[in-house]
Structures are given as C-alpha cells and as structure tokens.
Structure 1
Amino acid sequence: MPSILVIEDDDAIQSLVEDALNEGGFETAVASTGEEAVPLLKGGLVTYRGLVTDINLLGRFNGWEVARAAREVDPSFPVVYMSGVAADEWLVQGVPNSIMLRKPFAPVQLVTAVSHLLNGCLSPKAPDGPSG
C-alpha cells in the first residue's frame, strides 16, 4: 500500500485528508510543519510514494519549500499542493508535474489527484501542472 506524507497544520483538514486517502487505499503519515516533514522525506527510514502539502504552514518552511526538498530526494516525486489563498502562486512556485487543489475541495478530488500522479498520468507539459 503506497504511503503518502501529508503536511497540514489545521487539525480538521488534516483529519479530512487522512481519512480520504485511507479510504482511497493509501497509508498516510502526518506532519504538522515543514520542519517535521523535511527530515522524514530525507531520512530514508520510510519510503514515501507521494506528498500532499498545504502551502501556508506554521514554522520556517512553507509547502513550496517542502516539495522542493522532496524533489531533491527524487526528481519525479509526486506532489499535491492544497491551498485556499496561495493557489494562484502555483505556476511560479510549484514543482513541475504537480497538482494544485484549491480549498475547499472534495475528498474524491484529492484521491484522484494522488492516484493520477502515482500512475504517471501527467505528461511533462501537462496543462494542469507547471511545466517548470
């Protein structure tokens, strides 16, 4: 079962995301800050198959920076961003071949986005992903 790292500092949204992914057949690990997430991604103790991250996080690292750290480990690491206010920055800040979900979103949209990335359904110049 693919393990997805979820980074979200709002407990209610964190729970919603975790439940949606679990019901969609994914294992999840949860971090509340980028400072928690980056060592998990780079540590290699668990091999995560994808990242779902909020953009505006508590602490020093935002979601853009966490995704870039994940891509340092694996240049094709699947990334799904979630944001209500920073979504417009995705084309400039987002990593190539990522997906942005604008809050609020339906749980099925999240599961579909993660599934598409894991199955390689986005091409390098996909219209719904930054081309980098």
Structure 2
Amino acid sequence: MRILVVEDEEAIAEGLKFNFEQEGYEVVVATDGHEALAAVSQTDAEEFALIVLDLMLPGLSGYEVLRELRQKQVMTPVLVLSARTLSEDKILAFDLGGDQYMTKPFALREILSRVKSLIHRHQSIRLSTPAAPADPAPAAEQSSSTQGSSPGRFQFGRVIVNFQTFQVSVGERVHSLTTLELELLKYFIEHQGEVLSRTRILNHVWDEHAEVTTRTIDNFVLRLRKLIEPDPSKPVHILSVRGTGYRFLPFPSSQDVTDEEFAE
C-alpha cells in the first residue's frame, strides 16, 4: 500500500516516511502543494491508500490541495496533520473533505493507529452493504428493482448509495463521498428510524482519538443533506431531534416530517 506524505518540514517528512515504511507501507513524499497534486495526477489516485497532508505549505496551501483533490473526485482518505489548532481551521479542513485532523506535535503511536484505522475503514466499507430498509409503503407502489439494497449498494427513493465507488446518485446527478461522509451515511442507514445522539454518532463513526466535536457532526450532516434531500432546508430523510441528535428515515411519512419533535 502507498501513502502520500505532503509535508515541507524535512525532519517531519523523513520521520513519517521511515516509520510508515517500517509498518510495511510504500511512501511518496511531496514538499509543496503543486508537487502533491502532481503526484496524484501522475498515477492512479486509487494507488494511494492514504494522504497525510500538512496545511501550511509553500505554493499551494493544504486547504487548496484538499479542495482541488475533492473537486477532481479523488476520494482517497486524507489525514490532515497541522500545527493549526483553532476550531475554525479544523472545521474548514472537514468542510473541504478532510477525513481526520491531527495537531502537531503528535505521538507516533497515535498517528500510526489513525493511519491503519483510516485505511481499514476505506477498504472495509466497500465490502459492506447495510440491510434493506423496512419500507412502509404498499407493495404495489414499490418494486424490488427500485428499493432496498443489493451487493455493494443501498437505494431509497431516487437515492442510490454505492459503497464500492463511494458515490451517491440522485437521479442523473452523481456525487463522490469521502470515507467519513460515507461512513456516517452508512451508520444512519444501519440504524434507520432510531434516535441517534451526537455523542453516540461520534463514538461509533469517528476514531476514538479524533480531534472533533459534536459540531463536526452537524457540518457533516449539512453536507449529506445537500446531496440526498429534495430540499435541504426542509429535510425529510435526516431529521434533527431537538436537543439530542438525528434520526434517519429512508421512507418518511408525512407524520414523521411534520412531528414537532423533529422540527429544525
């Protein structure tokens, strides 16, 4: 497996390269933003199992690199490694498609653990398909070809979630998801109909050492709503539960949507 390390501080870059190689990974090092994008464009992006990305880079910042990678539909997991500690920096990194965020200085064991976890998640999620939803609609109104799940995908209404390609299709529109975006949507699908607290979601979807808050979950939910909801300002699938968290309904009824408990 190959890891791309994007880091302009030579000592850190070489230290990461050495330790990753000791774990059996092949490592490519880029020392600025332009070099990082070139490394990805010159090879099949899927050949990289993970990208470790610094934010303060010469040329193009890590933010710009991350934005361009996601715009080009490169969905390789990205672990942001930065000396920036403000919550605004972390939120922006997540909004641009980062999967995890670590601050410098860092513990070697922790970063190795996170690398293994992200790579494992990205690979295993492709092989899993949540159980088909219990559709409350009359059988005459549904067909097995348009609802439920099949190997590697899950469908509800006009939405098709493809766990092998990390994509969500809504009608003719196709959107790529990051590892954590897909992991969060998968968790909602697996627990459809349940009221899920933000703390529960955080504990099950994010790494136990991830430097995120419950506000991070809200930002991820907003992005998912923009993709799967007919009207993101009036969600019918990912409903807010006041003071608690969220509830996912693949086939919502009018009562579910208008219930005051789930009002925005």
For normalisation by structure 2, the TM-score amounts to 0.44
Matched, 1:32 2:31: yes
SS in 1 for 2:84: coil
Distance 1:11 1:97 in 2: 23
Query: Equivalent residue for 1:110?
Result: 111
Change in Cα spacing, 1:70 to 1:114, as seen in structure 2 (3 Å) is: farther
Distance 1:55 1:86 in 2: 11
Distance 1:78 1:45 in 2: 14
Radius of gyration: which is bigger? 2
CA contact (8 A) 1:9 1:32 kept: yes
Change in Cα spacing, 1:52 to 1:81, as seen in structure 2 (3 Å) is: same
> Which one has more relative contact order, counting CA pairs under 8 Å at least 6 apart?
1
- Could you list the runs of 5+ residues in structure 2 that have no partner in the other structure? 123-179, 185-200, 224-264
CA contact (8 A) 1:51 1:67 kept: no
Tell me which amino acid in the other structure corresponds to 2:105: P
- Could you list the runs of 5+ residues in structure 1 that have no partner in the other structure? none
Taking only the aligned residue pairs, the percentage that are identical comes to 26
Distance 2:86 2:21 in 1: 25
CA contact (8 A) 2:6 2:31 kept: yes
CA contact (8 A) 1:42 1:70 kept: no
Q: Deviations over 1:63-104 (max 9, x none)?
A: 1222233332433x1101111125531122334461111101
SS in 2 for 1:51: strand
CA contact (8 A) 2:80 2:98 kept: no
Q: Deviations over 1:4-39 (max 9, x none)?
A: 010110111111111221122211000100111101
Tell me which amino acid in the other structure corresponds to 2:56: N
Shift in Å, 1:110: 1.5
Query: Equivalent residue for 2:56?
Result: 56
CA contact (8 A) 1:55 1:86 kept: no
CA contact (8 A) 2:80 2:93 kept: no
